[in-house]
């Protein structure tokens, strides 16, 4: 809600009414899901053409519906971007997907941004050797109508979690299709997405909200059949920024994402060649996604992968409101900053350098650089007023829980056979 898209994106040339209708159609279709199956938010021109009247705007890749769709509350969201599809930044989301639930909410936000036309989700790479983690990412992608997003995992990871104890175990209960036997190493998936983007002259943004194994392997990678460039050169050529949730600046602690794979984190922070923006532990720690939103904002569909992940387990480190909790929103901050870079919502430090010590402790050295890049830190929450902090939380809630208006919620789901009679 209430943010200005990144400045490099041109302002809207398509009538707002049509744009809003396009957004609304997607969520109308989402509301038409059946029973307990995942619903699909169709975004393609093909899906838009299911309406009786369609008009193709000057943006040839977006078909805008000019019908009398019910009015939906779109909160304070920006209208759909008119940035042509083939020039939108491509986001690679690298996530541990499982040990904590903020990754799921962060992924939902990416789908919201993609639905607004602000970005394209290029790939999801799981920074654990976890098929269930990959599957839950695919569940979320399928739920939001993007079942074909490439997914990779960190096969050589030594980070161990028992997925049977995590929400990722729930992936079995969702209908989705993922070639688990064919899952590739995350760095290879990343190489392919970046190489394709480079050829197409498109910007890539990388968001990391887990461990650093995939990105360290990417930087160590050599030229191959995917690209003639090694990993560092490939990143330097095509990736504008790494937005990363990791580390602690204010506290004398080793943050979880770093602690589980210190070697990879040290390599990443040593070698990453382009701009890096760090969301430290302290920021998300003070931004609590309200559990009351989970119980009230997701009931427009029988099953919602965000709600189910959130409620799967009582995670004690989040506990605010028993028996569940207001979730500390670490990973959401890095996703939001990655796409809303010019928004005044987040305060950002002066340029400097983030380093990771042998013990995993992170430090920020203002004014320094490593000859290749300079880093920035999203300011800690104690530098925000209560009003500013609440504004971020409100935006998080809007971004994650985007939904049809109550009049649609009350309507029974249409018979799927009717939808096929277009």
CA angle 223, 263, 364 (to 5 degrees): 105
Nearer to Ca ion, 209 or 341 (CB): 209
Q: Would you count residue 127 as binding Ca ion (CB under 5 A)?
A: no
Per the DSSP assignment, residues forming a β-bridge with 277 are 243, 376
Nearer to Ca ion, 40 or 246 (CB): 246
Nearer to Ca ion, 29 or 378 (CB): 378
Shortest separation between residue 69's beta carbon and Ca ion, angstroms: 36
Helix (H) / strand (E) element for 409: namely helix 406-410
Nearer to Ca ion, 138 or 331 (CB): 331
Shortest separation between residue 257's beta carbon and Ca ion, angstroms: 7
Nearer to Ca ion, 113 or 211 (CB): 211
What residue has token string 């990879």? 264
- The beta strand positions in 52-180, using DSSP E, are 54-56, 63-65, 90-95, 120-126, 151-153
* Cα 327 to Cα 65: distance, rounded to the nearest angstrom: 37
* Cα 243 to Cα 377: distance, rounded to the nearest angstrom: 10
DSSP states of 217-240: HHHHPPP-SS-SS-HHHHHHHHEE
Nearer to Ca ion, 203 or 261 (CB): 261
* Cα 331 to Cα 144: distance, rounded to the nearest angstrom: 19
Nearer to Ca ion, 65 or 245 (CB): 245
Stretches 116-124, 204-212, 283-291, 381-389: which one binds Ca ion (CB under 5 A)?
204-212
Write the DSSP symbol of residue 378.
B
Shortest separation between residue 275's beta carbon and Ca ion, angstroms: 21
Q: Would you count residue 209 as binding Ca ion (CB under 5 A)?
A: yes
Q: Would you count residue 210 as binding Ca ion (CB under 5 A)?
A: yes
Shortest separation between residue 98's beta carbon and Ca ion, angstroms: 8
Q: Would you count residue 333 as binding Ca ion (CB under 5 A)?
A: no
Which of positions 86-125 make contact with Ca ion (CB under 5 A)?
96, 103
- For residues 377 and 249, the answer to whether their CB atoms sit within 8 Å is yes
The helix/strand/coil state of 206 is strand
Query: What is the gyration radius of the CA atoms in the chain, in angstroms?
Result: 21
Nearer to Ca ion, 96 or 203 (CB): 96
- For residues 142 and 40, the answer to whether their CB atoms sit within 8 Å is yes
Stretches 30-38, 173-181, 206-214, 371-379: which one binds Ca ion (CB under 5 A)?
206-214
In this structure, is the dihedral angle defined by the CA atoms of residues 283, 116, 138 and 408, taken in order, positive or negative?
Answer: positive
Instruction: Say how many CA atoms lie within 13 Å of 308 toward its Cβ.
Output: 20
Shortest separation between residue 330's beta carbon and Ca ion, angstroms: 7
Q: Would you count residue 190 as binding Ca ion (CB under 5 A)?
A: no
Q: How far is CA 243 from the centre of its chain?
A: 11
Nearer to Ca ion, 107 or 301 (CB): 107
Stretches 324-332, 368-376, 396-404, 405-413: which one binds Ca ion (CB under 5 A)?
324-332
Peptide bond connecting 323 to the previous residue in cis, omega within 30 degrees of 0: yes
Shortest separation between residue 207's beta carbon and Ca ion, angstroms: 11
Question: Among residues 183, 172, 120, 180, which one has the least CA distance to residue 146?
Answer: 120
- For residues 194 and 204, the answer to whether their CB atoms sit within 8 Å is yes
Shortest separation between residue 128's beta carbon and Ca ion, angstroms: 10
Size of the site for Ca ion (CB under 5 A): 5
Shortest separation between residue 148's beta carbon and Ca ion, angstroms: 23
Shortest separation between residue 95's beta carbon and Ca ion, angstroms: 6
Binding residues (CB under 5 A) for Ca ion: these are: 96, 103, 209-210, 331
């Amino acid at each position: 809600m209430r943010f200005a898209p990144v400045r490099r994106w041109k302002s809207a040339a398509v009538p707002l009414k049509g744009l809003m209708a396009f957004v609304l159609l997607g969520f109308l279709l989402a509301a038409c899901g059946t029973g307990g199956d995942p619903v699909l938010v169709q975004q393609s021109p093909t899906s838009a053409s299911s309406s009786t009247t369609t008009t193709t705007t000057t943006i040839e890749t977006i078909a805008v519906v000019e019908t009398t769709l019910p009015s939906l509350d779109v909160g304070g969201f920006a209208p759909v971007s008119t940035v042509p599809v083939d020039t939108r930044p491509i986001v690679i989301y690298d996530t541990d997907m499982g040990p904590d639930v903020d990754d799921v909410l962060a992924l939902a936000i990416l789908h919201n941004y993609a639905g607004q036309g602000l970005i394209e989700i290029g790939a999801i790479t799981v920074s654990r050797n976890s098929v269930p983690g990959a599957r839950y990412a695919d569940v979320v992608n399928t739920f939001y109508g993007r079942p074909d997003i490439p997914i990779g995992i960190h096969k050589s990871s030594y980070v161990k979690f028992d997925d049977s104890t995590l929400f990722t175990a729930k992936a079995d209960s969702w209908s989705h299709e993922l070639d688990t036997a064919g899952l590739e190493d995350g760095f290879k998936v990343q190489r392919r997405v970046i190489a394709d983007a480079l050829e197409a002259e498109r910007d890539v943004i990388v968001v990391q909200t887990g461990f650093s194994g995939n990105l360290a392997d990417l930087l160590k990678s050599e030229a191959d059949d995917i690209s003639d460039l090694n990993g560092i050169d490939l990143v330097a050529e095509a990736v504008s920024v790494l937005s990363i949730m990791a580390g602690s600046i204010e506290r004398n602690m080793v943050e979880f994402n770093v602690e589980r794979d210190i070697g990879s984190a040290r390599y990443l922070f040593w070698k990453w060649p382009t701009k890096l923006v760090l969301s430290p532990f302290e920021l998300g720690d003070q931004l609590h996604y309200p559990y009351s939103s989970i119980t009230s904002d997701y009931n427009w569909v029988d099953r919602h992968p965000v709600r189910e992940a959130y409620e799967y387990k009582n995670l004690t480190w989040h506990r605010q409101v028993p028996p569940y909790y207001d979730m500390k929103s670490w990973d959401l901050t890095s996703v939001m900053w990655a796409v809303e870079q010019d928004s005044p919502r987040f305060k950002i430090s002066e340029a400097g350098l983030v380093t990771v010590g042998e013990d995993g402790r992170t430090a920020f050295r203002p004014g320094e650089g490593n000859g290749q890049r300079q880093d920035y830190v999203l300011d800690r929450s104690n530098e925000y007023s209560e009003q500013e902090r609440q504004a971020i939380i409100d935006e998080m809630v809007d971004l994650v829980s985007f939904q049809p208006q109550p009049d649609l919620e009350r309507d029974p789901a249409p018979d799927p056979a009717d939808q096929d009679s277009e």
